[in-house]
Amino acid sequence: MIEVSGVSKRYGEKLAVDDLSFSVQPGVVTGFLGPNGAGKSTTMRLILGLDAPSSGAALVNGKRYQDLQAPLREVGAMLEARAIHTGRSGYNHLLALAQTQGIPRGRVDEVINMVGLESVARKRVGSFSLGMGQRLGVAAALLGDPATVILDEPANGLDPEGIRWIRNLLKGLAADGKTVFLSSHLMSEMEQTAEHLIVIGKGRMIADMSVEAFVAQASSGAPVRVRTPDSVALTAALIGAGARVSAEQDGALAVQGLTTEQVGELAAAERLVLHELTPVQVSLEDAFMSITKDSVEYQQA
């Protein structure tokens, strides 16, 4: 359980996080979305006590992170930026972290097995691939078997097999009743993993809702795709009914302003044959783009 209330963070002139409030509930995977520079990593650093908020408070299990007696046993985190000494072996990295709160050696071997790094755990981290580094980061996050897991861009650098692995891992953690909070810029990944979304842009809250609701919101006003051998007659009828119609490349029509049902009924009334009638699904990607387009930090010219 993570509760962020009224948190702001200012770096000099720049307000990186602007009065954010949200909570992350146990039992579901909560996605944290936002364009680059939106303040996702900063927010996570504020939750983890690495940066101090300029105002407001971020609590984990009702406490500030700094006040947790055994933080690794309550919160496991992996930051986007590497947080591992490259000269040390993965095993010794995990062992040193475990020793700070009396986590037994056996647990170190356990998490190494969980992330599939048995064969390289004794090698220096500097020789690791990006994907191996991510797996080691996940191992560190799971070390204390925490009830809350915070992962910043966990899919970065993973191959498709690795991405599926982490997706199943996170879903499994949520199913076990854990609080799972992950950021990603890969919308497709979020769509398959997260149930709940927190979307921010320019440090401000844009949306805090279920993935379904988020897509539904963005889909309102999405076009209906319709194909007919008699495009001219149908177009005339649709425009007569107040729709905006445009031609697709394959000869289908994109209709805006009417629902699928209305288009179908109109065609039946005009006795026109339809070959296709499809509500266009907006992907999370599109929903995200349409909702955040005003809050992209660096607009392309």
Partner 1 sequence: MSSEVTLARVTRSEWTKLWSLRSTRWSLFVACLAMAGLGPLIAAVSMAHWNQLGEFQRLTFNPLERAMGGYRLAQLAIGVLGVMVISGEYSTGMIRSSLMAVPKRLPVLWAKLLVFTGVAFVLMLVTALISFFASNAIFTEHHVNQTLGSPHALRVFAGSVLFMCVTGVFCTALGTIIRSTAGSISAYVGLMFVLPVVGDILPASLSNAINPYLPSVAGTEVASTFHDPYTFSAWGGFALFCGYTLLAVVVAAVLLKRRDA
Work out how close the CB of 82 gets to partner 1 at its nearest, in angstroms, rounded to a whole number: 5
Pick from 112, 157, 161: nearest CA to 138:
112
Q: Which one among 21, 36, 55, 86 touches partner 1, defined by CB under 8 A?
A: 86
Pick from 269, 241, 244: nearest CA to 256:
244
Q: Which is nearer to partner 1, 103 or 197 (CB)?
A: 103
Near partner 1 in 123-152, by CB under 8 A: 124, 140
CA pseudo-torsion sign 137, 139, 143, 149: positive
Work out how close the CB of 106 gets to partner 1 at its nearest, in angstroms, rounded to a whole number: 13
Under the criterion CB under 8 A, does residue 69 sit at the interface with partner 1?
A: yes
Work out how close the CB of 104 gets to partner 1 at its nearest, in angstroms, rounded to a whole number: 9
Cα–Cα distance measured from residue 184 to residue 163, given in angstroms and rounded to the nearest whole number? 12
The 46-65 site mask, x for binding partner 1 (CB under 8 A), equals --xxxxx------------x
Cα–Cα distance measured from residue 264 to residue 286, given in angstroms and rounded to the nearest whole number? 25
Scanning 84-92, 187-195, 199-207, 227-235 for contacts with partner 1 by CB under 8 A, the matching segment is 84-92
Q: Which one among 4, 20, 77, 245 touches partner 1, defined by CB under 8 A?
A: 77
Q: Which one among 34, 71, 154, 201 touches partner 1, defined by CB under 8 A?
A: 71
Q: Which is nearer to partner 1, 59 or 97 (CB)?
A: 97
**Cα Rg for the chain, rounded, in angstroms?**
24
Work out how close the CB of 11 gets to partner 1 at its nearest, in angstroms, rounded to a whole number: 8
Q: Which one among 1, 96, 239, 268 touches partner 1, defined by CB under 8 A?
A: 96
Cα–Cα distance measured from residue 134 to residue 280, given in angstroms and rounded to the nearest whole number? 36
Q: Which one among 88, 107, 171, 185 touches partner 1, defined by CB under 8 A?
A: 88
- Is residue 49 within 8 Å of residue 66, measured between CB atoms? yes
Tell me, rounded to whole angstroms, the distance of Cα 180 from its chain centroid.
11
Pick from 189, 197, 196: nearest CA to 168:
189
Q: H or E stretch including 84?
A: none
Rounded (10°) CA dihedral 222, 193, 34, 223: 0
Query: Using CB under 8 A as the criterion, which residues of the chain lie in contact with partner 1 when the complex forms?
Result: 45, 48-52, 65-66, 68-73, 77, 79, 81-89, 92-93, 95-97, 99-103, 124, 140
